[in-house]
Amino acid sequence: MTASDPKASERLSYAPEVAALLEGTGEQAELARSFVRFANALLDPDPSKIDDAITPDARFHELEEMGLPAGPAGFKIFRKQINGAFPDQQVRIAAMRFEGGGILETDLESTATHLGDLMGVPATGKQVRFNIHTRNRFVNGRMAERWDVVAFGAELGTAYSELIDPVEQRARLTAQSLLAAGGDPEAMELDEEFLSALEYAMPPTGGLGMGVDRLMIMLTGRTIRDTILFPLVRPTS
């Protein structure tokens, strides 16, 4: 990390309801703070910080399916790749849901610049945005298990819930429209008809995004490295 790089803690931000939760007391607030400590460890360029945030026998099911070593060793390899490729990654914790038993579901919104090699794909310098839905189990304040949508031992996709708050949606679409006005080709425009429909009310809605590569994993039993649909960007080795 250079002197100009932001610290890991400065790369995290929170939705208002999450910020209020983190200031609170009780089991849920403590679990939320445990996730923040875990997230800070992920963003830190020093992989040894991960040891303080996860249990020695922590499981990362989706990474094991990718062929990485089980437990903390594989997770450190994965985070080293991500931090090297996206050293300026910013993460906003948008929502948290609690199931009991130390299980926490978290919605994350991430932005970053592709500045380094990622699994054989050279840096492009492009800004990327992606949403992450993660489900974690914590034991004594440390992350013990993480998983996504899995069938037959393979990750198939990401489950998500729709944002149906018209006030929050308006704020986000307004921000997107300003980016669009500034020339961002991927930004969205303000959609008054959509916002008006939300104001009439929309029931809680969710969905599942399944990648074709994950479907191929299920059908063939191979790893994601073998079923990726863009082999030309893979290393020749």
Structure confidence by residue, pLDDT tens digits, 11-59: 899 999 999 999 999 999 999 999 999 999 988 888 888 888 888 888 7
Residue ranges per domain, the chain? 6-147
From the centroid of its chain, how far is CA 34?
Answer: 16
Which one is the CATH code of 6-147: 3.40.50.2300, 3.10.450.50, 3.40.50.300, 3.40.109.10?
3.10.450.50
Q: One digit per residue, pLDDT tens: the chain, 237 residues?
A: 333 345 666 889 999 999 999 999 999 999 999 999 999 998 888 888 888 888 888 877 667 766 788 888 888 888 888 888 889 999 999 999 887 788 888 888 888 898 988 777 788 888 888 777 788 888 888 877 766 555 554 556 665 557 778 888 888 889 888 888 888 887 788 889 989 998 998 887 766 666 677 667 667 767 666 776 665 555 555
Structure confidence by residue, pLDDT tens digits, 106-116: 888 888 898 98
pLDDT of residue 3: 35
pLDDT of residue 74: 85
pTM for the model: 0.61
pLDDT of residue 75: 85
